Amino acid sequence: MTQGESGQDGDSNQSIWRGVDFSGLTLVLGAGGGRLVDVLAAQVRQADGHLAVVDYQIPALRELVPEHGHSPQCLRARYRQLPLLAESVDLLVVNGVLREAPGSRYEALFDEFWRVLVQGGRLRVSDILEPTEADYDQAWHERNAIVRALAALMDKPAALSVDLTAAAKALRQVGFEDLSVALLPGLALTDAWLEETVNAVHGMAARLADRSQRDQIIERKVPNLIAAYAAGNQRAPERFVLSGRKVGSLALDMESSFTEDDLLPEA
């Protein structure tokens, strides 16, 4: 049940990333749909740098390999324990994965990011927020209600959004400086999104042994989702890009004037 990544044209991607130093090691956490990795791979090749992608899902990593003449280094690992040496990463891009960590674990996760970044290294975290009460967020509200209900019935966690205030506070606690945040509007939801979401709900509900629980999801909650989408002009929740720097005596100027419109995390 994802809102897929959407990219710009080639020229736009080039200009958006102009000014970022890709000559060292760029590490992406979260393969996503692969579009962001495509963009970064092109920039890294031009700078004669190195690109690595970490994900814990083998299918997500396999999808990256056929797409590139010079494939990124793909590593399967958990984000809280990265298989890299200390101070080995120059640019760390966290793509739609922070929501998988509870707020109480933000600081521990950022400690690991701090460990692998070089002095002066940059961190960019891209993810989504909880939907607002606006009319255009109602379909996503219903989507989240279904995910939370299924998670409770299956006794599993639900990765839905990021507490941006808590994330920024945790970054400061770890030691990151020069924090900045950019808010980007949610992507428009499509008929394809609705179809994929409903199909995914049916697939997960089929795992419930209790028929009454399945009926509650399929016959009550799914119609609410469809009705909210039918109201029109529905969007995914706002996205954000939270940036920081591991400041040190070897800090480099890696600032950029782009707005990072192409950092479109999975939702």
Average pLDDT over residues 95-114: 94
Q: Are strands 117-128 and 89-95 parallel, antiparallel or unpaired?
A: parallel
pLDDT, position 249: 52
Q: Give 51-87 pLDDT, tens digit per residue.
A: 999 998 888 788 776 554 556 888 899 999 999 999 9
pLDDT, position 21: 84
Is a pLDDT exceeding 70 seen at residue 11? Answer: no
| CA distance linking residue 147 with residue 190, whole number of Å | 19
The structure's pTM equals 0.81
Is a pLDDT exceeding 60 seen at residue 251? Answer: no
Quickly tell me which residue has 């090691």 as its tokens: 25
| CA distance linking residue 28 with residue 75, whole number of Å | 10
Domains and CATH numbers, the chain: 10-131+160-188+237-245 (3.40.50.150)
Q: Give 129-141 pLDDT, tens digit per residue.
A: 999 999 999 999 9
Q: Give 201-235 pLDDT, tens digit per residue.
A: 999 999 999 999 999 999 999 999 999 999 999 99
